[in-house]
Copies of this chain bind each other. A is one copy, B any other.
Amino acid sequence: MKHITITDIAKKLGISASTVSRALSDHPDIKEETKKKVQQLADEFYYKPNSIAQSLKNNRTTIIGVIVPEIKHDFFSSAISGIEEVAYHAGYTIIVCQSNENFEREVVNTNSLIHQRVAGIVASISQNTINGDHFKSVVARGIPLVFFDRACSDVAVSKVIIDDAKSAFDAVSHLITKGYKRIAHFTGPKELDICKLRLKGYSKALSEFNLPVIESLICYGGLHEADGYNSMEELIKNNNLPDAIFAVNDPVAIGAFQRIKEAGLRIPEDIGIVGFSNNKITALVDPPLTTVNQPSFEMGKKSAELLIEMIESEKQSFKPTTITLNTVLIIRSST
């Protein structure tokens, strides 16, 4: 079965392709009668304009590119869901790429999306992204770009984020008011803004409550479960036990959680623990984890809305806006 074209319709009616094109777009130059005949035939044969041809004319597709570190991570898959949801209703489709936390692959993905003439890009950078040149070339080509959650600090574009410092501050404050005093922080790569900010919030809370910032209780690692597990292991091995942990995200918290349980320590009595993101899993472990609810789905939706607005505004340059979504500390039994 072949796709029917505007030319096919034109031939059937003995008119020109341009007339058909105009008839379908309700151009005032075309007689009502002709419009009707064209429309009827188009309906009958389920005519849909060839979007590739349209893209070639416009030098732009109706595809939104999405770049995330890893699709299968709760936070990102949920954000992608949100992006798809908004895109779908606005008539766009989404191409999803994952960098696998790899800088080079992120660059390749970005260039591939540019080259595929996507209408815009929504991205969350990898933890190893050392510069934003690839994103700068996106901007240079006039392609709308929005970061969500993990933004690239040397590229001035719109972003949808949360107040990481404040969220961390609140989380750690909560621990302190619960009576915890030796609070460790399992953080991620120093390069990532979100890590820097959460660390900042952590320090600020300690200072505010006149607690010392103990360097040996700040554990640098990755963002995965294994990293949390390893950091905990390290603390245990060094006999440097904290009485509470604020983890940079939920997977890290879960990793620590497992190691703590293996060590036979009780949560929250021996060690309190706070995660970050409100992954589904945190509500189901025993005891359920206190965590910061990060509205992943909404972040995806907002990012897409912002991006589509940029795409359809026809303006070449936009002043970057930053949307900060609210987080809520969800207090459960782990603290």
A residues in contact (CB < 8 Å) with B: 1, 3, 48, 50-53, 55-56, 59, 61, 63, 70-74, 77-78, 80-81, 84-85, 88, 93-98, 105, 112-113, 115-117, 137, 140-141, 254, 258, 280-281, 284-286, 297
Contact = CB atoms under 8 A, between A and B. Distances in A.
Contacts of A140: 1
A123 to B, nearest CB: 15
Contact of A71 (B84, B112, B286): B84
A209 to B, nearest CB: 32
Contact of A98 (B84, B98, B141, B284): B84
Given A50-B117, A56-B56, A71-B81, 17 more contacts: A51-B117, A63-B95, A71-B77, A72-B80, A72-B81, A77-B77, A77-B80, A80-B96, A81-B98, A84-B98, A94-B95, A95-B96, A254-B284, A280-B281, A281-B284, A284-B285, A285-B286
A223 to B, nearest CB: 15
A237 B66 CA distance: 46
15 contacts: A1-B137, A3-B59, A3-B141, A51-B115, A52-B56, A52-B59, A53-B56, A70-B81, A71-B84, A81-B98, A94-B95, A254-B284, A258-B284, A280-B281, A284-B284
Given A1-B141, A52-B52, A112-B93, A71 B63 contact: no
How many copies of the polypeptide does the oligomer hold? Answer: 2
A96 B97 contact: no
A207 B77 CA distance: 41
A326 B85 CA distance: 33
A137 B48 CA distance: 15
Contacts of A52: 52, 55-56, 59, 61, 116-117
A280 B282 CA distance: 12
Given A48-B115, A97-B93, A72 B63 contact: no
A61 B84 CA distance: 20
A12 to B, nearest CB: 21
Contacts of A113: 93
A113 B116 CA distance: 16
B93 A95 contact: yes
Contact of A94 (B84, B88, B96, B284): B96
A141 B71 CA distance: 30
A115 B50 CA distance: 7
10 shortest interchain CB distances as A-B pairs: A286-B286, A77-B77, A72-B81, A72-B78, A71-B81, A72-B77, A1-B140, A52-B55, A96-B96, A52-B56
